[in-house]
Amino acid sequence: MVCVVSAINDLPATVQAELLASGELSARELLDATLDRVAAVNPVLNAVVSIDEERAWAAAAAADEARAAGRSLGPLHGLPLAIKDLHATAGMRTTFGSPAFADNVPDADELVVARMRAAGAVVFGKTNVPEFGAGSHTFNPVFGLTRNPYAPDRSAGGSSGGAAAALAAGMTSLADGSDMGGSLRNPASFCNVVGHRPSPGRVPTWPAKDAWFTLGVQGPMGRTVADTALLLSVQAGPDDRAPLSLAEPGSVFTAGLPTRLHGLRIAVSPDLGGLVPVDADIATVVEGQVDLLRRLGAEVVSGCPDLTGAEEVFQTFRALNYAQSAGDLVDSEPDKVKQTVRWNVAKGRALTGADIATANRLRTELFHRVRAYFDDVDAVVLPASQALPFDAELEYPKIVGGTEVENYLHWMRAAYLISATECPATAVPAGFTADGLPIGVQVVTPHHTDLRALGIAHALEKANGHTARRPA
């Protein structure tokens, strides 16, 4: 598959931003190259949906006029951006991948979208998602299936699968996403891009049905760690409508990122301490990080935090969230909701007060065990996904690491058990199989140390060079 239209598309967003700020590149030129690339490859990949060229051209023209007039430019000035179709966009269709919302056009941007627009991003469309973001394979009855740019017969992951595929194929410079069970990290691993799951509160969510929900977070994706940090610098920062939002400003993520790791003690585990089955190629790549980390100056040990109770924490609070967010729709229009979402809602409604109390106790115990673990270790490197990109025609892989998969969530445990810890995690490209399928690792660091996770991922990225390998 040939997808080379203009080299401009494949430059890092940080480089594009410099060219736009200097006037060597105009927002219109970059948008033109972007839309040409979309026209060339999106019919195969189906990563970008609900394209609105008219609004995009108006935004690009406004960006060029602002620079010509000498006005102050935002960090994302003129950069093309497609928004995840779970995030509300004013005047642009937001479907959540559901037939029940196929014609939904919000009146207002939600907070993360408003922040990216205010920073100068040129929004031109949406990125495809699984229905209501349920599952790490991107398909829905509204727009269909998203395919992997490195192997179009394979899954691009999810739920930010459209975002990851669009990034990899040069159809967007940056991408926003969200992550409850791995939705920023699994697709990043599948598509050889970077996804950062922030600490809860780092990127405040507004509006929100449950302002205290911490399992699901919004965050950035990019083709490089520096691009991802750039987007996080805009998304992050306090908001008084989000009670758990962190006070630290997003500007902290504009700091330089390290290329050496001297003085750090980093643990590595290919299977979360024997807790999850992992495909053999992935285990090999994770184990290969040991020598690389040592060459970068880190002390490396084997190990992983004790994740006892993380499964119950994740399953309980995820089910509770689906009962709250999708329960009314399941009652009113069950035929418009896929079976797995109905299953999640039923699980949430079956929970008792005792179930929720137990999950809260386990979450507290997990928090303190992980906190204590990081007293002696600065980070842990784990697989970002247990499975390789699988056949796109399947709903989910049936066997992972030689073990039969129980349900559509179970193959994502390497990601969602980390979600339950509420630690930040950066998924970064780390290798390829012999037949060219991408493999990523996730760098997990203590609570609220997002910059450390990004920094370690950046050093790995610069040392291994895999982010430079684009799909044909």
Q: In this prediction, what percent of the chain has a pLDDT beyond 70? A: 99
Q: State the catalytic residues.
A: 84, 159, 183
Residue 190 and residue 389 in contact, taking contact as beta carbons nearer than 8 Å: yes
**pLDDT-above-90 percentage for the chain:** 98
Domain map of the chain by residue range? 7-305+374-468
CATH class of 7-305+374-468: alpha beta
Q: Which residues of 169-187 are buried (b: 16+ CB within 10 A; e: fewer)?
A: bbbbbbbbbbbbbbbbbbb
pLDDT in tens, the chain (472 residues): 333 334 899 999 999 999 999 999 999 999 999 999 999 999 999 999 999 999 999 999 999 999 999 999 999 999 999 999 999 999 999 999 999 999 999 999 999 999 999 999 999 999 999 999 999 999 999 999 999 999 999 999 999 999 999 999 999 999 999 999 999 999 999 999 999 999 999 999 999 999 999 999 999 999 999 999 999 999 999 999 999 999 999 999 999 999 999 999 999 999 999 999 999 999 999 999 999 999 999 999 999 999 999 999 999 999 999 999 999 999 999 999 999 999 999 999 999 999 999 999 999 999 999 999 999 999 999 999 999 999 999 999 999 999 999 999 999 999 999 999 999 999 999 999 999 999 999 999 999 999 999 999 999 999 999 999 999 8
Report the C-alpha gap between 444 and 420 in whole angstroms: 12
d(CA 66, CA 21): 11
d(CA 120, CA 77): 4
Phi then psi for residue 126, to 5 deg, are -120, 160
Residue carrying the six token digits 């056949």: 391
| Cβ contact 81:127 at 8 Å | no
